Amino acid sequence: MSTTAHDIAILELPFKAPYDWPRILRFFAGRATPGVEAVEDGAYRRAIDWAGDSGTLTVRPHPRKRCIVATIEGPAGRHADALAAPIARMFDLHADPQAIAMHFAADPWLAQLIEAAPGLRVPGAWSAFELVVRAIVGQQVSVKAATTIVGRLVQRAGKRIEDHPHEHTAWRFPTPAALAAVDLAQIGMPGKRVAALQGMAAAVASGAVPLDTHAEVDPVALRAALLALPGIGPWTVEYVAMRAWRDADAWPATDLVLMQSVTARDPALLRATQQRARTDAWRPWRAYAAMHLWNDVTDRAGGTRGG
């Protein structure tokens, strides 16, 4: 359902209960790009551009119905019907938590985790390009450090939005062309990672790696295209597949937190190759298994570790 008035469009987008809004918001809050995204007052907010029109997207849960409420302020609101699908993907509204729980019911590790967080979703991304940037920046650094560096990238290569009504979301994320061309000296990343980041941005700008086309993606071809770029390995590709391409079976096998989580439960499973038989049992929902393992670590740490 959508309503429009005075340059404000409101979408009510349904989900299958349960839906764990506090945890998806916690995930976004820990990774929000400074200046571009913000989590405030129980809502997610960011500046958006769609079909040449700009606006601000704010998403919060409906107080009574089983749906989220997406408010689009500004000219982008005229595209509300087209925006319903990407917003639904970003907030994983099409997931069937009962089907996922049934699949994991016989697994002693996952059944326990699902009981603790039955409505957990796989948080998506507004932009696949932004997520690939974040994944490259986040290689071998903490979530907090990656967020800081991505904020610096926005300051160097992004654009400030004049007269924007929301101060914390008053920047546009850098375009692929702008990020490929900007000087990233003293940005806080090793030279090889800077080269990987700018090489990826150039490939996206040229159309060689077609991210954010809003068309149906071929995950096999996109995986191959990303893996072919220098400095991008399987972890980055699987993380992007989970969150941007909505691959419910994506599994970042070499993720340190995931590997430690598996080893903590079975010390005989030390290496990713040893863990494979155990994690393959979670097909075709391995992305949800990853989220539950990450979430368990975050719950225990009371912070934003994992993912």
As given in the structure block, the two tokens for residue 19 are: 């839906």
Residues 33 and 74 grouped into a single domain: yes
Residues 200 and 214 grouped into a single domain: yes
Please state the pTM of the whole predicted model.
Answer: 0.94
Give domain status of residue 306, yes or no.
no
Residues 164, 57, 78, 162, Cα dihedral to 10°: 10
Give domain status of residue 265, yes or no.
yes
Give domain status of residue 190, yes or no.
yes
Total structural domains in the chain? 3
Q: What is the pLDDT, as a whole number, of residue 203?
A: 97
The set of catalytic residues is 255
Q: What is the pLDDT, as a whole number, of residue 130?
A: 97
In angstroms, rounded to a whole number, what is the distance separating the alpha carbons of residues 58 and 80?
Answer: 13
Residues 81 and 222 grouped into a single domain: no
Q: The domain that contains 238 carries what CATH number?
A: 1.10.340.30
Q: What is the pLDDT, as a whole number, of residue 140?
A: 87
Residues 110 and 259 grouped into a single domain: yes
Residues 137 and 282 grouped into a single domain: no
Q: What is the pLDDT, as a whole number, of residue 5?
A: 52
Bridging pattern class, strands 159-160 and 67-73 = unpaired
Residues 263 and 214 grouped into a single domain: no
Nearest CA-CA partner of 131 in 39, 245, 251, 252: 245
Residues 230 and 284 grouped into a single domain: no
Residues 168 and 213 grouped into a single domain: yes
Residues spanned by the domain of 46: 2-92
- Across the 307 residues of the chain, what is the mean pLDDT of every consecutive 10-residue run? 71 98 97 97 96 96 98 96 97 98 97 97 97 94 95 98 93 98 97 97 95 78 94 95 95 95 97 94 97 96 62
If you write DSSP's letter for every residue of 3-54 in order, what string do you get? EEETTEEEEEEE-PSP--HHHHHHHHHHHPPTTTEEEETTEEEEEEEETTEE
Q: The domain that contains 270 carries what CATH number?
A: 1.10.1670
